[in-house]
Chains A and B, each alone.
Chain A
Amino acid sequence: MAIRVVSGRGHQWLLTERIGSGSEGIVYAVDDPRALVAKLVPDPPDREAYRRRVERLVRQRREPRTVRLLSGSPTRLAWPMVPVRTVLGGGTDSIDGYVMRDMRLAYQPFTHLVSPAARRAFLPGATWATALAAAEALARLLAELHAGGYVVGDLKPDNLWVDTQGRVGLADVDSWQFTDGREVFPGRMRTPGYTAPERIGPVGAPPDSSSDDFVLAVLIHQLLMSGLHPFTGHPADGGDYLSLDDNLLQGRCRAVDRTSVVLPRSAPPADLLPRRLASLFGDAFGGTRPHAWLWAEELAVARAAERLTVCAVQKLHVYTIERPWCPWCDQAERGMDSYPGADSARGAP
């Protein structure tokens, strides 16, 4: 298999293997000395609008707001570099897409840090400090792109990347909501478990920075709680569990009301969070959503070296000095060690 794509200027690339497929597009490796990949979107709802969308994004690379977002190394955004379309003879419809940087070079999939099983396998040295660093990096990135007038809309683990230091990258820029001053390019994708309540349902609201801020809080919760989604739990009223979104809509959330859900005994303890962050989660899921920049500031405070301490038993157990003893040991005693380290048998199911 080698799909051939061409840019508007006639430059051709060969796409080699398929390396991923998401809700709308499929990502291919590109035969090129630079580390590039290409995303093709077979059936956008409006083909012309999708072409314009990609063209505008490519043009915006040179705008000051975007230049700032793209500065630094490794690059945090898989921004579209060149619009491409497939080359086919015989009058077949071509498929549109774009070429972007291959995030796999600098990063791993975000789930490698979030999911306990994947973390053991791919990031065995990661600690709660890494989670805090990633949370802050994510909040900062989101705050910056909101300041630039962008809305992610479909913020979710599948679009995110992370490295061993907790640096964070973001892909699928073509699904963002933005404007070029004349035309608004709407965000419309939604992902179960990562959608603000006002966007759930048959006629969901369009995304805005506030709906992004909601999902940011979900992701930060998962990072700091060893993967635990904030709307995890069986309904405490004895009814059936339906979905995370159902829990969300019914206000079942441990961070807001501890009596609303029943969690497995082996869940990370609720009181592992510094008081300030716990109260931000309460606001995010049950009150006025904190802005991304506020999250970034508070996370920076929480992860300062003098605010963290290391467990005497297991050096990968890092926790806040506000807690008198190690929450990860507490959790391990109940059957699940979130940060077991490579040499520990504990926590392996």
Chain B
Amino acid sequence: MSTYEMGLADGCEERQPVVILLDTSASMGRPAESPRIDELNDALARWFDEVRSLSRLRSRVEVALITFDSRVRAYDARAESLVPVEGVASDRLFAPVDEVRPPRLTASGVTRLTEAVETALTLARERYRALQGQRVQVRRPFLWVLTDGAPSDAEGQPQDAAALAGTARRLRQGEEQGECIFQAVGVRGADLPLLHVLAPKSTLMLDSYDFGQILDLVFQSSDQLGAVQHADDAHRQVAERAARQKRMDELERKFR
């Protein structure tokens, strides 16, 4: 086992892989005066800096970052660069959560959401099998997609529900076979009906959240995944957590 692998806990704790798919298409560059992508970059930098103080997450969670615009790329945390996923061993694309110094993302291009989801599914499945093979106490990988737009095909044309059906079916299979949990998070401008096609029971519209709050939700709920539990229960828990969080945020805002 490499020292890199040892970065997580002492080998006796559970391992929770988390894959985050980040929309970096052109729409994330809006509004021009304060682009959302800058907001996302700041939140990522801050969140991964602050995670060092959260000992439970540090000892359990490993993360893979995937970005999607006209291309799908993954973040190689050791090389600190975004790379094409093909040809890179999936193990290399997961890093202990406190060893990730996130990239500075830029926004351009179309929204290859389905391709990114398919990539993430494969990546998660490979990692899960590899860790089971190494007898690590790995939990089901948690997949989160964050998007502010609508999926498009390779030519940049908007996709309809029919075009998403294949990916949606593979997600459902993955969840039913206990290989992963998939959650979709829409922020301003996201095409909710299409996200619902991909994730009928696990699409959250979090347009009142800032990205830091979304990252908190992503990691806290990934970490609190219940025991012998159906994916639907996990989705319900995430939704409840999000609703509670939203209620408190509104309350705090009123008093500000």
A and B are interacting partners = yes
Residues of A with Cβ closer than 8 Å to B? 1-4, 18, 21, 23-24, 26, 40, 42-43, 86, 88, 92, 95, 111-112, 115-118, 121, 192-193, 195, 200-201, 227-229, 232-234, 240-246, 249, 262-264, 266-267, 335-336, 349
- Among residues of A, the one whose C-beta sits closest to the C-beta of B253 is A1
For B245, the chain A residues whose CB sits under 8 A away are 21
For the complex, what is the distance from the CA of A262 to the CA of B228, rounded to whole Å? 20
Task: Say which size band chain B's interface belongs to.
Answer: 35 or more
Is B58 on the interface with A (CB-CB < 8 A)? yes
Closest to A225 in B: B12
In the complex, 29 of the A-B residue pairs with CB atoms within 8 angstroms, ordered by the A residue number, are A1-B252, A1-B253, A2-B255, A3-B255, A4-B255, A21-B245, A42-B244, A88-B251, A88-B254, A115-B9, A115-B55, A117-B10, A118-B55, A192-B224, A227-B12, A229-B12, A232-B12, A234-B137, A241-B132, A241-B137, A241-B138, A243-B14, A243-B228, A244-B14, A244-B227, A249-B228, A267-B12, A336-B11, A349-B3
Contacts from B to A (Cβ < 8 Å): 3, 6-7, 9-14, 55-56, 58-59, 132, 135-139, 178, 224-228, 243-245, 247-248, 251-256
Residue of A nearest to B139 (CB): A243
Nearest CB in chain A to that of B6: its residue:
A349
Q: At the interface, is chain A mostly helix, strand, loop or mixed?
A: loop
The smallest C-beta distance from B163 to any residue of chain A, in angstroms, reads 33
B251 contacts A86, C-beta separation under 8 Å: yes
Closest to B8 in A: A349
Question: Contacts A200-B228, A232-B12 known; A115 to B255 CB distance under 8 Å?
Answer: no
- A264 and B58 in contact (CB under 8 A), knowing A234-B136, A245-B227? no
Q: How far is the CA of A267 from the CA of B14 in the complex (A)?
A: 13
Query: Which B residues are in CB contact (< 8 Å) with A232?
Result: 12-13, 137
Beta-carbon contact of A349 and B10 below 8 Å:
yes
Q: How far is the CB of A107 from chain B (nearest CB, A)?
A: 16
B228 cross-chain contacts in A, Cβ below 8 A: 200-201, 242-243, 245-246, 249
Q: How far is the CA of A343 from the CA of B132 in the complex (A)?
A: 36
Max chain A C-beta neighbours (<10 A), residue from B3, B10, B59, B225: B10
Distance (Å) between the CB of A117 and the closest chain B CB?
A: 6
* Chain B positions within 8 Å of A26 at CB level: 244, 248
A116 and B10 contact, Cβ closer than 8 Å, known pairs A40-B248, A43-B247, A244-B227: yes
Q: Given A234-B135, A244-B14, list of 17 further CB < 8 A pairs? A: A1-B253, A2-B255, A26-B244, A86-B251, A115-B9, A115-B56, A117-B58, A192-B224, A227-B10, A229-B12, A232-B12, A241-B132, A241-B135, A243-B228, A245-B228, A249-B228, A263-B12
